[in-house]
Structure 1
Amino acid sequence: MESEQEEQGVNSPSLEETVGAAIREQRQKHGLTIAQVAEQADISRGMLSKIENGQTSAGMDTLARIARALGVSMSMLFSKYDATTTSAQHIKHGAGMEVVRRGTKSGHTYQLLAYDQGPVKHFEPFLITIEDDSERYPSFEHPGTEFIYMLEGRIEYRVGQETYVLEPGDALNFQGEVPHGPERLLACPIRFLSVIVYPQVAG
């Protein structure tokens, strides 16, 4: 049984392992050392080493800095993950990559449920879980349109000057450039889907 599980693990590397291998491949391709890339990306050498070896999850901000240091797009780091001939991407329950975003803290988690594999980022779907109300959330602003669908709990969500009480089954969509974010957590735990659709440049 153990050998079968080990074999499956080898045949199906995790997202962290795939991204780490892509970073190492690009770094070596450009003849760069871990120290050089870590300095350019403003992270520690130890952290970069752990990321390359698939030993830790890196936030999207960190991956963006590493990609810039390597001179590649972020999509290249994800391009070999779950790539199939059908172009479908299957993320098993609980297998979404836990990422760090502004406002993330103990009790608040973001799971990225799909990873763009093309040259342009079209969308980002997150499963957001809030276990407690220990700290106040900051407001967010970003390009594109955001769609929220409530799964569990109750939350008062602010968009611009308006606030909305969201309960399971409720949906909310708005322009990402408008400042937005949780105003009050009314009943925890809270879970909701947040899908950000980014604007596409014609041509």
Structure 2
Amino acid sequence: MIKKLIGKKLKATRLGKGLTIQELTNLSGVSANMISRIERGLTVPSVKILMKLASALGMSIGYFVEEAEKSSTVVLTRKGQGEPIFFYEEKQQISSLTQGLRDPSFTVLHDTLEKGCNSGGGHMVHTGEEFVMVLKGRLEFLIKGDAYVLESGDSLSFKASLPHLWRNLEDGPTEVLWVVSPAPNIAQ
């Protein structure tokens, strides 16, 4: 559990600072392979490595350890206080509403999609199930070639193994609530 928590925190911090793994390697002196293994939750870094990474990111070593100690069986997330986990070219901002939950079997995400934002050119396929609810705006989903237009208050549930993609139909931001099961490894 601590491996995954430190890995998620490291990746979120690195991405939040706009760094690639190679750039963090250059700043910290820690190999790209080791950083990748830590971020994927495959290894617990030594204190020496964690100190190098923390220093390169302008953080204290306690920042990573404290976060790992905070995992809980109950997580309260106040409005607007979700843990930012993903930003894409100022078009998409995803925050976790379940970050810090110990051994979750699902993840809840709040997503703000700016005008023109979409899931990319190819269809996504992965294990598990997804639930999406549009809180504000309009979102189009294509699942196995069938189109679904969701407006504020609409929701959609589907097997994530079905080829799917989505795009924001609004001239402004669309806000979405996602529930994904099983919980993805955000640090990948």
Q: TM bucket by the smaller chain?
A: 0.5 to 0.7
Structure 1 segments of 4+ aligned residues over 3 angstroms from their partners: 34-39, 76-79
Cα deviation code 1:31-90 (max 9, x no counterpart): xxx634654224xxxxxxxxxxxxxxxxxxx9743x22438xxxx99652263xxx3211
* Aligned residue number for residue 137 of structure 1: 119
Structure 2 length normalisation: TM-score? 0.61
Change (3 A) 1:70 1:79: closer
Shift in Å at residue 124 of structure 1? 0.9
One of 133, 137, 147 as aligned partner of 1:149: 133
TM-score by length of 1: 0.57
Q: Give structure 1 stretches of 5+ with no counterpart.
A: 1-14, 21-33, 43-61
Deviation, 1:160, is 1.9
Q: Return the match for 1:100 from 83, 86, 104.
A: 86
What residue in structure 2 maps to residue 195 of structure 1? 179
Partner of 1:127: 110
Match of 1:80 among 53, 59, 69: 69
- Give the whole-Å Cα distance in 1 for the aligned partners of 2:42 and 2:93: 25
The answer to whether the 8 A contact 2:83-2:99 is kept is no
Residue 68 in 1 paired to residue 42 in 2? yes
Kindly provide the amino acid, as one letter, of the partner of residue 40 in structure 1: M
1:68 alignment partner AA? L
Counterpart of 1:161 (choices 135, 138, 145) is 145
Using CA pairs below 8 Å that are at least 6 residues apart, which structure has the higher relative contact order?
A: 2
Query: How many corresponding residue pairs?
Result: 140
* 2:162 aligned counterpart, secondary structure: coil
Identity of aligned residues (%): 22
What is the Cα deviation at residue 187 of structure 1?
4.5
CA RMSD after TM alignment? 3.3
Structure 1 counterpart of 2:29: 35
Q: Specify the SS of the correspondent of 1:137.
A: coil
- 8 Å CA contact 1:154, 1:188 repeated in 2: no
Unaligned runs of 5+ in 2: 11-27, 46-64, 184-188
